[in-house]
Chain A
């Protein structure tokens, strides 16, 4: 079938231009993407957020090289005594060390967080400042990572089959609830 082919040359040129323009856009995008991916840890918030002069916290300051003081029962865990269960790796890309975030307004009050990285993993997080004029069900204090929930222990009604406790001497066992349970079930 005969086709009209007006201005074939400019049509072709237009196509080529379109192709190169599209290719340019795509290549630029890919280059940008690769550039962003290659940005290393140095630009991550953990390593750049250091409030000038705010790191001095005598009871809580820890570094990965500080000697341990395991007898200080209330001292925050220092990283040498918080071992990781698996082989160390730098896979996460976090740099080792202690990093302090800026003071941030968390609506209920200010929050400031200090994170300790060891072997490429977060081993401790402390709140240097946190909202403490309201009661929260998850108690945040400087003895536990904020995402491990805490609670005050409470006596429960003893409708159980078995009891787990520290090793009992036979004498202690005789007075224990486990003994009562065992007798009750005979």
Chain B
């Protein structure tokens, strides 16, 4: 994965040890699931040096979750890239979700965990308010284009605007998706938001319709012209100070 991870815990009593254990967990996930590491477990599977049945419990769990998501999104989510598996579109949300469990079980209530722009928020920020989250401008990483107030949920953004980054449509011979540059999904937790953000983005423009029909989720889509389309319940998260 190789992405930046940011954690903030507001509760008093948090120690560097708590944070280190969360970072260590992300390193574990990266070692196992990174397709960029030749000795990761996913790379072993892709070279057929081990089979899925021989792989670890976490690997099998991810494959099972990926299959479930594939069925729920009519194939628009698919980790199979012509025989080579890349589960990053679901691993990130799953990893954050599990990392959050580490903090939760340590007794913390007010925090967020951000891995590569996908975030799970819990409780309140240092001002005692709901976490204030900005959606990055796809055309300028130093700007935000939307300000949201979020409470105990997950937010994930899929996009193609980072140099060299592409999201492919599994239903279209893995051609790169065109027509939209960013899709942000707010869901009940980061695992759910991440997998549907990945799937909905692969649908291109139709993705926002898919999200509109999906109960319990809201989404904000941006096209190459800077025109945004959002689901009908999205505005309740928007903060207009």
Task: Please give the residue numbers on chain A whose beta carbons come within 8 Å of chain B beta carbons, in ascending order.
Answer: 68, 70-71, 73-74, 77, 81-86, 121, 123-124, 139, 143-145, 147-156, 158-170, 172-173, 175-179, 182, 185
Q: In the complex the two chains form, is A148's CB within 8 Å of B229's CB? A: yes
What does DSSP make chain A's interface, helix, strand, loop or mixed? loop
Known contacts A83-B203, A144-B229, A161-B125; 13 additional CB pairs below 8 A are: A83-B76, A85-B72, A124-B209, A148-B232, A149-B229, A150-B228, A153-B146, A163-B135, A164-B119, A164-B157, A167-B3, A168-B4, A177-B142
Partner of A153, one of B2, B114, B137, B163: B137
A70 → chain B, closest Cβ, in Å? Answer: 5
Partner of A70, one of B6, B156, B172, B230: B172
Task: Please give the residue numbers on chain B whose beta carbons come within 8 Å of chain A beta carbons, in ascending order.
Answer: 2-4, 6, 8, 72-74, 76, 92, 112, 114, 116-119, 121, 125, 131-138, 140-147, 155-163, 165, 169, 171-172, 175, 178-179, 182, 184, 203-206, 208-210, 212-215, 222-223, 226-232, 235, 241
Q: How far is the CA of A168 from the CA of B178 in the complex (A)?
A: 20
With A82-B210, A166-B160 as known contacts, state yes or no: A177 contacts B132, CB within 8 Å: no
Chain B CB count within 10 A is highest, among A143, A150, A161, A176, for: A161
Q: How far is the CA of A70 from the CA of B203 in the complex (A)?
A: 9
With A73-B178, A156-B145 as known contacts, state yes or no: A82 contacts B209, CB within 8 Å: yes
With A81-B204, A155-B144, A177-B144 as known contacts, state yes or no: A73 contacts B179, CB within 8 Å: yes
Residues in A whose Cβ lies below 8 Å from that of B208 = 144, 148
The residue of chain B having its C-beta at the shortest distance from the C-beta of A177 within the complex is B142
The residue of chain B having its C-beta at the shortest distance from the C-beta of A154 within the complex is B145
B219 → chain A, closest Cβ, in Å? Answer: 10
A86 → chain B, closest Cβ, in Å? Answer: 7
Q: In the complex the two chains form, is B136's CB within 8 Å of A85's CB? A: no
Partner of B138, one of A148, A166, A172: A166
The residue of chain B having its C-beta at the shortest distance from the C-beta of A174 within the complex is B4
Q: In the complex the two chains form, is B6's CB within 8 Å of A162's CB? A: yes
Residues in A whose Cβ lies below 8 Å from that of B213 = 84-86, 121
Q: In the complex the two chains form, is B141's CB within 8 Å of A165's CB? A: yes
Residues in B whose Cβ lies below 8 Å from that of A139 = 227
Q: In the complex the two chains form, is B214's CB within 8 Å of A177's CB? A: no
Q: In the complex the two chains form, is A70's CB within 8 Å of B175's CB? A: yes
B157 → chain A, closest Cβ, in Å? Answer: 5
B27 → chain A, closest Cβ, in Å? Answer: 14
Residues in A whose Cβ lies below 8 Å from that of B178 = 71, 73
The residue of chain A having its C-beta at the shortest distance from the C-beta of B217 within the complex is A85
A138 → chain B, closest Cβ, in Å? Answer: 11
With A71-B175, A81-B204 as known contacts, state yes or no: A165 contacts B2, CB within 8 Å: no
Residues in A whose Cβ lies below 8 Å from that of B230 = 148-151
A180 → chain B, closest Cβ, in Å? Answer: 8
Residues in A whose Cβ lies below 8 Å from that of B215 = 85
